Structure 1
Amino acid sequence: MLEVVELSSFYKNLDQSDQGNDSECGHFNIFKIEDLVLPKYRKASYTRRSFYKITLVSGQSMIHYTDRDIEVDGSAIVFTNPSIQYHWETISERQTGYMCIFTDTFFRKFGNIKDYSVFQSKDEAVLPLLPEQVLTYESLFEKMCTELEGNYKFKYDLLQCLLMEVIHEAQKTVPLMESPLSNSNAAERIATTFTELMERQFPIELTYQVIKFNSPAAFAAQLNIHVNHLNKALKAIKGFTTSQLINERILQEAKILLKGTNWTIAQIAFSLGFGEANHFSAFFKSMAKITAKTYRKLSKD
């Protein structure tokens, strides 16, 4: 099973005796980064958290995902979710800002938090900020700190609204995807349903977990449409064929498993729906231009 950092471990790592603020609507807490005592030498490990985190940070850092590295040099706001493994490497000694953590339950009043692209895409999860944007976010985080310490009867309702405002401020900076079709509502619905169906299969956490849909025909059958119709919709909305999207997502998960687990190649192949390990090895080499064994070795070095 892949390692998951629970809230109790998170507070222990921060040397915090206070286990945060729980209410009927879930867990919420906020910290000033400069007030935290972080261990100077931390073993690089790719883990998932059991909670969501929004970090407003100024300084130099590197966020290592299992399939890419993203540098923060200056000010940025960073969104992380429980589905994605990552390791945060602090580079500059001085780090300032705020860190807010919360559980899925805390956000449920506003719907499904996974619907917001800042929590879906790694490309949109790390947003560099201009000085005026930093001031806007600082004001919101400072208000959350104040309200959390207060005794207002409905403070958690207010905190939910402030958290929602932070997310919307970020979402406003994410470019809207323009559809290449003038009458594309149906195609967009197909593309959205396809993506949701594919992402529900991940992350893979157990060796006996096997993805069910790994071919255009399997997805088309589940969506009850012709495979050509599915391919046309995805090509129009996402710019890639069904096979390309499936293969890229399977490759991404393969890299995560090779880098983040000690599972055998055969176990990974089985979980990703390959009948034979050699079929997976051929797929990986074709897509990544490197063998699975070599990729794993390089990622461990």
Structure 2
Amino acid sequence: MAGFIELQTFYKHIPNQALEPVKNEIGHFNLFKVEDMILQNHKQATYSRRSFFKVSLVTGHSKIHYADQCIEVVDSVLVFTNPMIPYHWEIISEKQSGYICIFTEAFFNRFGSIKDYPVFQFADAAVIPLSAAETPLFKELFLRMFNELHSDYVYKYDLLRNMLMEVIHAAQKKQPASGSLPVGSNAPERITALFAELLERQFPIELGNQVIKLHSPSAFARQLNIHVNHLNKALKEITGHTTSQLIHNRIVQEAKVLLKSTTWTISEIAWSLGFDEPNHFSSFFKSRVNIAPVKFRQSEID
């Protein structure tokens, strides 16, 4: 099973760096140059979940294995990852440059919920290829953060939060948000945000005795205390997808991760994902991925 990478483990791969608490602050924040980190070329993809958030700006040929997707990057890219999403960076070219920023959720606790921003929730918003014209803006933002981090300014961590938010908002302006805003301004947005939170609470599947409890539109509607038609209308208005489509897409995403990153049997995976019978899961998976679970596990498809 893909386990969590703790901060202590992450720091072991960075020369001359030790994990130190941020003075007078709750949580943890740090920023590194990619060139100063240990890189392993052509390493096989491993789906590891981390105990911290990560924002990366990297220039160089690589492949990003994010949840159930594989995105090849030739030039520069921005990547936002959160502790819930399995993620791995596969280095292709020897020349890599840029910055990697890591922080814990507690670093933002007093300033809102950082995990609710679309770049930390949805694969389509989390991996953002940059053009040659767009890259300098983000390089400048990261350079400012790097210089501020190494300054003697007493309130630098307050400033660093603001700088990081500037990166987040600049990234989100580049494309339509894939998910709901952190705070819904109307009923459909609030319902969508609550639905997304309930859905994500069930993932990732980490233990063999873990089973998702909500896997139908009616189950979510009951939990939210609204009519299922009302739920479906709100989700369709905000996301363009039905309740069933959103649930099924998330289950398929997790199924792919479990098939690739565990040695669990098809029956065990089916049970964890709320299917009473393995053959029901197999039919469900094949109808959406066009390949049987066993063959998907054996294939090189991500």
TM-score, normalising length from structure 2? 0.90
Tell me which residue corresponds to 1:245: 246
Tell me which residue corresponds to 1:156: 157
> Offset at 1:245?
1.7
> Offset at 1:21?
5.3
Say yes or no: does 1:19 pair with 2:8: no
Structure 1 residues 149 and 195: alpha-carbon distance in aligned structure 2, compared to 1, 3 A threshold = same
Output aligned runs, 1:1-301, within 5 Å.
Answer: 1-20=1-20, 22-23=22-23, 24-40=25-41, 42-175=43-176, 185-299=186-300
Matched letter for residue 197 of structure 1: L
Matched letter for residue 289 of structure 1: N
- Post-superposition Cα deviations, 1:196-223, rounded to whole Å, max 9, x if no partner, equal 2111111111111111110111111111
- Post-superposition Cα deviations, 1:2-27, rounded to whole Å, max 9, x if no partner, equal 31111111111234442255333211
- Post-superposition Cα deviations, 1:159-185, rounded to whole Å, max 9, x if no partner, equal 112112111211222325799xxxx93
Q: Which moved more, 1:254-263 or 1:224-233?
A: 224-233
- Post-superposition Cα deviations, 1:25-63, rounded to whole Å, max 9, x if no partner, equal 211111111232323453431111111111111111110
> Offset at 1:250?
1.0
Matched letter for residue 230 of structure 1: L
Q: Which moved more, 1:207-216 or 1:238-247?
A: 238-247
> Offset at 1:253?
0.9
Specify every segment of 5 or more residues in structure 1 that has no aligned partner in the other structure, as ranges.
none
TM-score, normalising length from structure 1? 0.91
Structure 1 residues 84 and 201: alpha-carbon distance in aligned structure 2, compared to 1, 3 A threshold = same
The question of whether the paired residues in 1 share the 8 Å contact of 2:13 and 2:37 is answered with no
The question of whether the paired residues in 2 share the 8 Å contact of 1:20 and 1:28 is answered with no
> Offset at 1:300?
8.7
The question of whether the paired residues in 1 share the 8 Å contact of 2:122 and 2:179 is answered with no
The question of whether the paired residues in 2 share the 8 Å contact of 1:66 and 1:260 is answered with no
Hey, what's the Cα distance between the residues in 2 that align with 1:138 and 1:17?
A: 22
Q: Share of identical aligned residues, percent?
A: 58
The question of whether the paired residues in 2 share the 8 Å contact of 1:31 and 1:100 is answered with yes
Hey, what's the Cα distance between the residues in 2 that align with 1:245 and 1:209?
A: 21
User: For 1:220, what is the secondary structure of its paired residue?
Assistant: helix
Higher percent of residues as helix: 1
The question of whether the paired residues in 2 share the 8 Å contact of 1:259 and 1:299 is answered with no
> Offset at 1:69?
0.8
Q: Which moved more, 1:283-292 or 1:9-18?
A: 9-18
Aligned-CA RMSD value: 2.3
Structure 1 residues 283 and 28: alpha-carbon distance in aligned structure 2, compared to 1, 3 A threshold = same
- Post-superposition Cα deviations, 1:53-94, rounded to whole Å, max 9, x if no partner, equal 111111111101342111222122111111111221111221
User: For 2:134, what is the secondary structure of its paired residue?
Assistant: helix
